[in-house]
Amino acid sequence: MRAVICQGPRQVSVETVPDPKLPSPHGVIVQLEATAICGSDLHLYHGDFPSIGQQLGHEGIGTVVEAGAAVTGVAVGDRVMLSAVVACGTCWSCRAGDPVCRTTSVVTAVGTMPEFPGAQAEFIAVDHADAFVRRIDEGLTVEQAVLLTDILPTGFLGAQMANISPGDSVVVYGLGPVGTMAVHAAKLFGPSVIYAVDVDPTRLSEAEQLGAIAIDAREVPASQQLMELTKGRGVNASIEAIGHDATIMDATLSVAAGGTVSVVGVNLNMAMPFPMGLAFFKRLTLRSAIAAIPGTWGTLVPLLQSGAIVPDSIFTHHLAMSEAPHAYELFDTHADGCRKVLLDPTR
C-alpha cells in the first residue's frame, strides 16, 4: 500500500510500504477514505521529535475491511472514524472513553511512534477497536467525521477545561485549526465575549466572522491589550492552543483573579518556567491535557447533527495523498490561505 513517510525535516514522500496485519483478535483493518494533516504532525515534519521513517497522520476515517473475532462494536463494511489518541484499550478508563487516564501502558497519538503507523495511508490497523473506533453516525459529513478524530475534541476539551460559566469572558490563543475549534466550542458554554489572539491577519478576520473580538499580538502582547479591554481585571478563562512557552505565559498573565488557564497546545518542555507566585496570589487554576477523543464523541456528534457546531469550513484544501509534499508545505506556511488540508488516500 501507499503511505506518507517522513524523510527528515520538512521532507515527506509517498512510499510503498507493507500492508498492515490484524494486530490481535481485538483489532480491525480500515481502508481509509479521508485523512488530514494536523498541527501536531508539524512537530515531526519540523524534526522536533525523532521522525525519520515514521508513517504520519492521526486523523482518519474509512471502512472496516477486516475485524478480529473479539471485536463487537463495529463490523466489516462499517464506515468508521478512528481516535487519534490511543492507549492500552483494556483498562476501565480506556473502556470508558478516557485513554488519557489509563491505568496501564502509555498514551500516544497514532502516527507519532514507529509501533503506531499513521493514518496518512491507504490502510491502517487499529488494535482494541471497541475502545478507539466508532461507526460514523448518520448525517455527518466526511469533514465532520475527520474533525471528530482529533481537533474538534481537542478544541472542545480546551473549552471544557476552562471552566466557562454563562456571562464569562474568554480568550483563545492561537487561531489554527485547534484554536478555531476552541472558539466554536467556547460559544457552547454561554460566555459574554470571546477574544481571539493571533498574529495572522487572515486568521484574525476569520475569528471575527465567528463572533470573536480579534487581538493582534504582533506588536503589543495580548495580555496587555486584554487588561486594557477589561479595565485591568483580566478575562475569566484563557484557552491556549499553540503550545509555546511564551504564549502559555501570556495566557496566564491575561487571566483575572480566580480564573482558569486551559492549555491544549502541545508543549513537552519539562523545564518551562512558570509564574508560580502569580498563580498563588491570584488563585489561578491551570489545566492541561492531551484530548481523550472517544469520551467526547457522545457529546459532539449530536451537536454536529443538530447544527449547533458547523466547523466544516476549516478545510480549505482537498488534495490527493500523492500530493502530500505540496500539502505539507501549504499547511506549514499557510500559503494560498491554507487552514487545513483533507487528503484523499485513494488518489
Nearest to 90 by CA among 107, 106, 103: 103
Quote the pLDDT of residue 54: 95
Give this prediction's pTM.
Answer: 0.94
State the DSSP code for 216. Answer: E
Task: Round the CA-based radius of gyration of the chain to a whole number and report it.
Answer: 20
Q: How confident is the model at residue 108 (pLDDT cuts 50, 70, 90)?
A: confident
Quote the pLDDT of residue 106: 81
Q: How confident is the model at residue 78 (pLDDT cuts 50, 70, 90)?
A: very high
Question: What are the residue ranges of helices labelled H in the chain?
Answer: 39-45, 92-95, 129-132, 142-147, 151-161, 177-187, 201-209, 222-229, 245-253, 276-282, 294-306, 324-333
Helix axis angle, 245-253 to 222-229, nearest 10°: 20
| CATH number assigned to the domain with residue range 153-288, chosen from the 4 options 3.30.465.10, 3.40.50.12780, 3.40.50.720, 1.10.10.350 | 3.40.50.720
Mean pLDDT, rounded, of the chain: 95
Q: How confident is the model at residue 42 (pLDDT cuts 50, 70, 90)?
A: very high
At the fourth CATH level, the homologous superfamily of domain 2-150+292-344 is Medium-chain alcohol dehydrogenases, catalytic domain (3.90.180.10)
Q: How confident is the model at residue 171 (pLDDT cuts 50, 70, 90)?
A: very high
Helix (H, G, I), strand (E, B) or coil at 6: strand
Q: What are phi and psi of 237, to 5 degrees?
A: -145, 140
Domain spans, the chain? 2-150+292-344, 153-288
Give the amino acid at 154: T
Give the amino acid at 42: L
pLDDT in tens, 298-341: 999 999 999 999 998 999 999 999 999 999 999 999 999 999 99
CA 223 – CA 217 distance, rounded (Å) = 9
CA 172 – CA 187 distance, rounded (Å) = 11
Mean pLDDT confidence for 179-200:
97
Quote the pLDDT of residue 48: 86
Q: How confident is the model at residue 107 (pLDDT cuts 50, 70, 90)?
A: confident
In residues, how long is the chain? Answer: 347
Q: How confident is the model at residue 159 (pLDDT cuts 50, 70, 90)?
A: very high
Question: What are the residue ranges of helices labelled H in 65-200?
Answer: 92-95, 129-132, 142-147, 151-161, 177-187
Quote the pLDDT of residue 101: 82
pLDDT at 104 over 80: no
The answer to whether the CB of 4 falls within 8 A of the CB of 118 is yes
Quote the pLDDT of residue 103: 72
pLDDT in tens, 228-285: 999 999 999 999 999 999 999 999 999 999 999 999 998 888 999 888 999 999 999 9
Mean pLDDT confidence for 100-124:
88
Quote the pLDDT of residue 262: 97
